[in-house]
Structure 1
Amino acid sequence: MSEVQQGNAGIWTRPDGLAERLTFQRTVPRHLVHRASVAEVFLTDALALGDDRFLVGAQWPRDHALYHPDALGRSDPLLAAETVRQALVYLAHWHYAIPLDRRFVGRRMELDIAEPQALRVTGRPLHVVLQARWEWVDSRPPHRHGMRLEAELVVDGRRIGRGSLHVVALDERRYGVLRRRTGGSGGPVVPVQRRRTLTLPAARVGRLRGKDSVLAATRRAGEWELHADLDHAVLFDHPTDHVPLMVLLEGVRQLGHVLTSRPGEREGQPAVASQLTSLSIDCLAFAELNSPVRLLVTEDRTAPCGTRQLAIDAVQDDRGVAAVTARWHHDETPLSAAGPSATPPLPRVPRQTTA
């Protein structure tokens, strides 16, 4: 992908002389990123560069009810994951004219934040640009579209990480067949009661509000349960018939905080938190809303360079729904020493997805 540099007044210029304006003045229409609330839309603009390449603009809030800055004032890395998700959905509808009634089923997501220090919150919202490349994967239009988006994340003209997302978009009939085959109804579930399971205190999982905690302890070592409130305004922005990908990622992030944070040096001091810097998740099956999802830590590896890597399986009723590998980094160690060469990815056993 060609290098893109930030110019004056929001102008983005490529070496071949092409100049286009990428704006951050307003959000894109919420229905084009599958959000019900305007407050949860982070995309602001997109430009088609040709050859299935795009620039996508996003504005990250200085603060957010769920995706708030950490103790060191850095933007939440899951904002990057949600921005990549919104970018794929937006480009699918806006540029490739995939019908709005299609159901998007996640297959795999990857995220790598190479320079978390570049995400410090300042006196203005953070402008993020995705240098994105689109790829069709096992696509059989008009009823099935398989797609993958690969994106470099750029802040102030500096590449700070990358992300990718692979999904399949199905028409209503094929989605209904798939859901009935996997035990679901295929229709949205309307929340009728609030969560009854006692989840961990917010501070224990790195959140500010009790309602944001989605993690519950079990009596088995290395096992936790995911219990998200269906009334949660961010995690369940609109009715759904299964546990969304971003809810699974929130559970993984909170579990990583529990396992990798260290107590403060003196009694009463807050925990010394590590930051989520990379993850990959393979979606193996739908996670239903009527049964708890168990998060099993299958491997826990600490590297001398300051990274902690966890392999986590999400299981429901003895059926795997997701396989995750994620890394956390402690702030006192330079991230350059904790790159991929220092801690190679954990091997995962290939499994068949449901879509």
Structure 2
Amino acid sequence: MTTDPVAALAFDQLVPPETVNRRSPREVFVTDHARLGADEYAIAVRIAPDHPLWSDQRAPWHDPLALTEAFRQAFVVVRNGYLDVPRGTPSAVQQITLNVPGTDVFRADGATPLQGVVKVRVTQTDDSFDIAGDFVVGSVPAMSLSFSSLLFDRDYYREIREYQRSRRAADLAAAPDAKPVDPGSVGRNDPANVVIGPAVRPDRYPLLVDRTHPSFFDRDYDHIPASLLIEAMRQSALLSAAEAGLRTGEAALTRAELDFGIFVEIDVPAECAVSVAGGPGSMAATLGIDQGGVRVASGTLELTGLNP
């Protein structure tokens, strides 16, 4: 009798934090995993309904953006557990594309976790990896996501970062003395989860980087992690979209195409520039993150109003 490896996946116990390059068990989403084929894998994930970041929503919905972290953890499991990449190997995300076909599966009751299976195909070319797949809840596709990641030799990574930091040293200006925008204006309840300040110029928002944040900086980084950059883009888009009539407390990120260039330094001021188009039910935003006169990340987001 053949057992379906996906059906056999369990959701009752999280893997150890080091399995997904985390420190706190609170930040672990993966519960189980299996190999389906030569380059295909299934990873069970569970996101707690009281997670301090990803469940900090004004509206009663699970946050689709939490799945970017779920996919990242799935890739870490695959590369370390199945592809023999040494743990702790430096890496950088280069591109992310995601699409949410419908939001009903993300309805939340405040007590039930968001859980499902990440099914991915991982292909490798030298030190570059392409990851593509779907997050499925039961039999319902909830998100498709693909991203590319580059892995570095430790010594080479150190050389790159030293060179980049030396080139950016002249840009070390005092960070803006900005307070977070109102949490409700970006769909949050907790001010600690707000990562932008009020606009310094029309539709340009300074990034606020708190290295003590328990989710964004659960492990040591020598740069701003992609998760914080994406959140800054989303919050910037929400603020600008609100001026065009979108109810930001009831809007979800449902589509994204993002590109990441050089590493974004923690100690150099950065801003997110945004322009939006659309109407009250759906907005498209074009964004870029600038640091020291260089565009270090860019892309487009789509925000969709949630029906109560």
TM-score, scaled relative to structure 1: 0.78
Partner residue of 2:300 out of 307, 325, 347: 325
Q: Name the counterpart of 1:253.
A: 234
Q: Name the counterpart of 1:115.
A: 102
Higher-RCO chain (CA-CA 8 Å, sequence separation at least 6): 2
Aligned in 2, Cα 1:271/1:76: closer, same or farther, shift over 3 Å? Answer: closer
Q: Structure 1: how far apart are the matches of 2:7 and 2:135?
A: 18
1:84-95 superposed matches below 5 A: 84-95=71-82
Q: Name the counterpart of 2:182.
A: 201
Q: Name the counterpart of 2:158.
A: 176
Q: Structure 1: how far apart are the matches of 2:210 and 2:222?
A: 14
Cα offset, 1:43, TM superposition? 0.7
1:31 aligns with 2:14: no
Q: Tell me, what secondary structure is at the counterpart of 1:217?
A: coil
Aligned in 2, Cα 1:12/1:157: closer, same or farther, shift over 3 Å? Answer: farther
Cα offset, 1:332, TM superposition? 4.9
Cα offset, 1:300, TM superposition? 2.1
Deviations 1:230-287 (A, max 9, x none): 11111111221000000101111211221224799xxxxx965321111121111110
Partner residue of 2:288 out of 297, 301, 313: 313
From the CA coordinates, give the structure whose radius of gyration is larger. Answer: 1
Partner residue of 2:262 out of 285, 305, 312: 285
1:99-110 superposed matches below 5 A: 99-110=86-97
Q: Name the counterpart of 2:194.
A: 213
Q: Structure 1: how far apart are the matches of 2:95 and 2:134?
A: 17
Taking only the aligned residue pairs, the percentage that are identical comes to 23
Deviations 1:18-55 (A, max 9, x none): 77611112112211211111100001111101120011
- Maintained 8 Å contact 1:253/1:276: yes
Partner residue of 1:226 out of 201, 207, 229: 207
Partner residue of 2:131 out of 149, 153, 157: 149
Cα RMSD for the two superposed structures = 2.6
Q: Structure 2: how far apart are the matches of 1:320 and 1:12?
A: 49
- Maintained 8 Å contact 2:285/2:302: yes
- Maintained 8 Å contact 2:103/2:306: no
- Maintained 8 Å contact 1:68/1:75: yes
- Maintained 8 Å contact 1:261/1:271: yes
Aligned in 2, Cα 1:12/1:312: closer, same or farther, shift over 3 Å? Answer: farther
Q: Structure 2: how far apart are the matches of 1:161 and 1:211?
A: 27
Aligned in 2, Cα 1:184/1:253: closer, same or farther, shift over 3 Å? Answer: farther
Q: Structure 2: how far apart are the matches of 1:280 and 1:324?
A: 5
Q: Tell me, what secondary structure is at the counterpart of 2:221?
A: coil
TM-score, scaled relative to structure 2: 0.89
- Amino acid across the alignment from 1:246: S
Q: Name the counterpart of 1:124.
A: 112
Deviations 1:144-167 (A, max 9, x none): x21111111100211122111211
Q: Structure 2: how far apart are the matches of 1:93 and 1:236?
A: 21
Q: Structure 1: how far apart are the matches of 2:18 and 2:166?
A: 24
- Maintained 8 Å contact 2:21/2:88: no
Aligned in 2, Cα 1:318/1:53: closer, same or farther, shift over 3 Å? Answer: same
- Maintained 8 Å contact 1:42/1:58: yes
- Consecutive unaligned residues of structure 1, counting only runs of 5 or more, are 1-10, 140-144, 186-193, 265-269, 334-355
Aligned pair count? 299
Q: Name the counterpart of 1:163.
A: 145
Cα offset, 1:65, TM superposition? 0.9
Q: Name the counterpart of 2:216.
A: 235
